[in-house]
Amino acid sequence: MKLKIGDKVDVLDDALSGIIQSIKGEIITIETEDGFDLEFKPSELVKTKSATLRNNVFDSASIRQVLSEKTEKKRHSTTKIKAKERYEPMMEVDLHLHKLVDHERGMTNYDKLSIQLDTARHKLEFAIKKRIQKIVFIHGVGEGVLKMELETLFSRYDNVKYYEADYKKYGLGATEVYIMQNPNTNN
């Protein structure tokens, strides 16, 4: 069935009907009986005769009931977190230099490495203070200098364990840090 301008249509999943005002590609604009212009896809509309589909199928009392059910506030269901997602890192820190500075022109390798390590130290301290248990530091593969320096940094902390991050998600260029929380410490 081909829809055209001037056709009377009903909206399939809503208690609306109207007359087609314009058709632009896959967007059909209808003017509702209340005078509003609304856009729909052709699959959301059905052509009707002179009497609306609602008048043929429902009486006015059942229309009111359907409308009240549709406008009634629904209870929000709580989103269940899968067991696997519970153990995913809470925080990601991308240490790629282009994410940390606007331009790296004129910087020495020492300057670049210092910025990356200072950022890692700052984020790790923040996570410890805010009691965030897991962080992933994305350092990239490269020559492995940053990775070795990060391992040196992490080994200075008694309450930190570190290991390769999830290979499927990060490849070889990331280290996951687990911060053991001391329940006696109130930060």
Residues sharing a CB contact under 8 Å with residue 141, sequence separation 6 or more, in sequence order: 171, 172, 173
Ranges of the chain with pLDDT below 50? 51-55, 187
What is the per-residue pLDDT for 95? 94
- Domain residue extents for the chain: 8-71, 83-179
**Assigned CATH topology for domain 8-71:** SH3 type barrels. (2.30.30)
What is the per-residue pLDDT for 112? 92
Q: Which 8-state DSSP code applies to residue 51?
A: S
What is the per-residue pLDDT for 51? 46
What is the per-residue pLDDT for 87? 61
What is the per-residue pLDDT for 54? 46
What is the per-residue pLDDT for 91? 87
**Assigned CATH topology for domain 83-179:** Ribosomal Protein S8; Chain: A, domain 1 (3.30.1370)
What is the per-residue pLDDT for 3? 87
SS3 93: strand
What is the per-residue pLDDT for 90? 74
Residues pairing with 27 in the sheet: 24
Helix axes 109-129, 145-155, angle to 10 degrees: 40
How many Cβ atoms from other residues are within 10 Å of residue 52's Cβ?
18
**Do residues 5 and 19 make contact, with C-beta atoms less than 8 angstroms apart?**
no
Count Cβ atoms within 10 A of the Cβ of residue 116 and give its class: 0-12 exposed, 13-18 middle, 19 or more buried: buried
What is the per-residue pLDDT for 73? 63
Residue with the two structure tokens 């059910």: 69
pTM of the prediction? 0.52
Q: Which CA distances in Å does 150 have to 4, 60, 94, 116?
A: 65, 70, 13, 9
